Amino acid sequence: MSHHSNANTSSKKPESELIADWAHLLKVFLRPEDSESHGTLVKYMEQILFGLHDFLRKHVGITEAKSLKELSERFTDTIIKENPEKKLADVITCVIDEIAPQAVNVASPYFVGHMTSAIPFFMVHLKTIVAALNQNVVKLETSKVVSIIEKQVIAKIHRMIYENSESFYQTHVQNTETTLGAFVEGGTSANLTAFWVARNARFAPKEGFDGVEIDGMAAAYKAYGVDRSVILASRLGHYSLRKAAGILGIGNKNIIPIDTDANNKLDVHALRQKIHEIESGPEKTCILAVVGIAGATETGTIDPLEEMAEICREHGIHFHVDAAWGGPTLFSNSYGHLLNGIKRADSVTIDGHKQFYMPMSCGMVYFKNPVIMDVIAYYAHYVNRRGSVDLGIKSLSGSREANSLILDSALKIMGTKGYELLIDHGIETAAAFAEEISQRENFQLITSPELNILTYRLCPPEFHQRIESRDPQTLQAANEELNSLNRNLQRLQREAGWSFVSRTTLKINQNDPNCIVVLRAVIMNPISTIKILKDILDEQEEIYRHQLAHKFSSPD
């Protein structure tokens, strides 16, 4: 930014006068340099903290684009200047006047493409307090009561999932020997932690072997006479499952994709068959875990958790549920039942920054068994001593911010009912959106929403006959044209800057190995109404008519 000074944001003082000396440093450490700086900061902080959504609407582009190339060219200076480049207030002004407009207004009700959306304004207040207190929850000595509160909020969410007895929670809520779960960076870390625990529990110490954590994977396989270990998950599983298996030394090819049924739910018959195949196969293969998805990233669908739990029980397999997205559906009296079976999971991933509407980034992982996390415990001389409350003992992370304090406060402000309203709104609006898509001849609904995510594609009438064709070549040709059409549509709409849906590719026919390009909508913003979703479809039809239709001749 430094080499693009701008009349709005350049310092009133010439920059050459900014010199870092001890007096200036102490000043900038403690408070604004002068009343002018103070005034500027007050103005912006007032706007952000008390008019967040107006502020975002006014200052942040939805998706509109200076081209990436143009933007990139502005940010190529890689030298850190010796003296301050700008006064604090000017840096903040620059962030707001120059950077924010080129960021993405994920809070717009027209931004329905990803799992990142509007957050309640008070979340920003809570994050501000957490930053100000700057507690480090790796250890009690730098967090004190905040560690205690974290244990409590973990127990609250555990209870929401597992619904154990009051006496269970009285035993464990503040127990320094047991652990019901952990805050982590995000869903990836949560899934990684779950597999890490499952791996270590499976390859536990025994005669002549100190356990996989100490001796490593190769030694574990030798000690247990295993050739390979695998994790079974729906082919719609998040890519973080593969990443976690890669990191843990399991190998990401050993995330075995299980087919889904016509509703995009894991096919339990296929799961049973695969387990049988592995257990009776020639290789000595160990099934480390089965993963059920509660809210698939691409389709929002929920696997048959109850049946999967039963299969895992029969075979003694660790059952993990990736509820990063769908977890808070449990708040809903109307839809909570969709997650039936989750309480039988050995471990559960939930993201705070998704449907708990917390700011980036906050993940959580929960365990049914309050001592299973012992298999990942680490101690050190200067912290995390045995028997201490230090939360860093059983944690992927070391130093870590106190996001638990945000969730704890949010639960008090919202109540389960507040979250239920958000969840129900998303699910019901998505259903209405699906209905609307089905009624428009220019669109094809690809995956109906079970929760608040659906996929569809532009599929104008001139394609209808061809995509019904039984001739594979005709069908494939039509799909290829539609793929190109939808890729362009999504890009043009994004570049127009008014609204945003995402795109992905899906296999829609079990027997057809080809994937098709689809548009994906995620409805989580409480002000994304059906009216707005219709606007988005209208705009897509406009773009098709004026910018795309002429390029696609119908051979019919």
Which residues in the 381-410 window bind its own copies by CB under 8 A?
381-384, 389, 396-402, 405, 409
Q: Which of 68, 387, 439, 553 binds its own copies (CB under 8 A)?
A: 68
Q: Which of 9, 63, 178, 179 binds its own copies (CB under 8 A)?
A: 63
* 165-194 positions binding its own copies, by CB under 8 A: 166, 169-170, 173-174, 185-189, 192
Q: Which of 13, 34, 43, 48 binds its own copies (CB under 8 A)?
A: 48
How many whole angstroms separate alpha carbon 506 and alpha carbon 512? 11
* 284-343 positions binding its own copies, by CB under 8 A: 297-298
Q: How many CA atoms lie within 13 A of 536 on its CB side?
A: 32
* 335-364 positions binding its own copies, by CB under 8 A: 351, 353, 359-361
What is the β-pairing status of strands 228-234 and 181-184? unpaired
* 526-555 positions binding its own copies, by CB under 8 A: 526-527
Judged by CB, which is closer to its own copies: 248, or 308?
248
Residue 302 CB, shortest distance to its own copies, in Å, is 18
Rounded to the nearest 10 degrees, how much is the dihedral formed by the CA atoms of 361, 367, 372, 378?
A: 10
* 443-482 positions binding its own copies, by CB under 8 A: none
Q: Which of 5, 10, 285, 504 binds its own copies (CB under 8 A)?
A: 504
How many whole angstroms separate alpha carbon 398 and alpha carbon 393? 9
Q: Which of 494, 521, 533, 536 binds its own copies (CB under 8 A)?
A: 494
Q: Which of 9, 11, 32, 426 binds its own copies (CB under 8 A)?
A: 32
Question: In this structure, are residues 120 and 365 in contact, taking their beta carbons and an 8 Å threshold?
Answer: no
How many whole angstroms separate alpha carbon 385 and alpha carbon 389? 9
* 103-142 positions binding its own copies, by CB under 8 A: 103-104, 106-107, 113-116, 118-129, 131-136, 139-142
Q: How many CA atoms lie within 13 A of 457 on its CB side?
A: 26
Judged by CB, which is closer to its own copies: 304, or 502?
502
Nearest to 410 by CA among 170, 158, 129, 50: 129
State which amino acid sits at residue 20: A
Residue 169 CB, shortest distance to its own copies, in Å, is 4
Q: How would DSSP label each residue in 388-413?
A: S--GGGG-S-SS---HHHHHHHHHHH
Residue 206 CB, shortest distance to its own copies, in Å, is 15
Site track 233-272 with its own copies (rule: CB under 8 A), x = hit:
-----xxx-xx-xxxxxxxxxx------------------
Residues binding its own copies: number (CB under 8 A)? 189
3-state secondary structure of 521: strand
How many whole angstroms separate alpha carbon 440 and alpha carbon 436? 7
Q: Which of 4, 36, 50, 546 binds its own copies (CB under 8 A)?
A: 50
Residue 470 CB, shortest distance to its own copies, in Å, is 27
Q: Could you say whether residue 96 binds its own copies (CB under 8 A)?
A: yes
C-beta atoms surrounding 39 within 10 Å: 11
Give the Å distances, CA to CA, from 234 to 109, 197, 199, 308, 463. 31, 21, 20, 11, 31
Q: Which of 79, 225, 439, 471 binds its own copies (CB under 8 A)?
A: 79
Q: Which one of 342-350, 365-373, 427-435, 499-507 is the stretch in contact with its own copies (CB under 8 A)?
A: 499-507
The two structure tokens encoding residue 163: 């619904």
Q: Which one of 276-284, 375-383, 430-438, 478-486 is the stretch in contact with its own copies (CB under 8 A)?
A: 375-383
How many whole angstroms separate alpha carbon 449 and alpha carbon 335? 13
